[in-house]
Structure 1
Amino acid sequence: MGKKTRITNNIRTLRFMASEMTQAELAKRIGMTRQTIIAIEQERYSPSLEAAFQIAHALNTPLEEVFQFADDTSAAKD
């Protein structure tokens, strides 16, 4: 069985760089719960594409600087 791929993020760092925005403030701006933001930050939950764009917009940061695709596959296909 292959390894799972994960979406990693820099939300916590970016929140602090954005005037120390709280999880609750970010959640309110994008219409989510604080618990959902916590789960995304802790990489226990991957947001939908729409939610990812909303988070990036709220943090005034390009999507690819907020989220990264961590490809854990060990062998490249030819």
Structure 2
Amino acid sequence: MTLAATGGDVISAAVTGVFLLIALACLVFFISTLVSILRSPLTVGMKLIWIIFAFIAPFIGSLCWFVIGSKDARRRPGVV
């Protein structure tokens, strides 16, 4: 019985590690989006809409929040 890894095992482990890092990065991005939305000066209704959008489309919703939503929230606090 040998314990040496084959080339396929090493590649498989590397790909798995990369996917796990990407998944972790997406999770951190999503959580930071939720925190940013909750700390924004928007009304409760607008926060709820952004949070629902972030849950429906986690990566795209988070990206849209940081590109569009957070800038709009700083420009017009408390406006629906």
Q: TM-score, normalised by structure 2?
A: 0.38
Which has the higher Rg, Structure 1 or Structure 2? 2
Which protein has the bigger helix share? Answer: 2
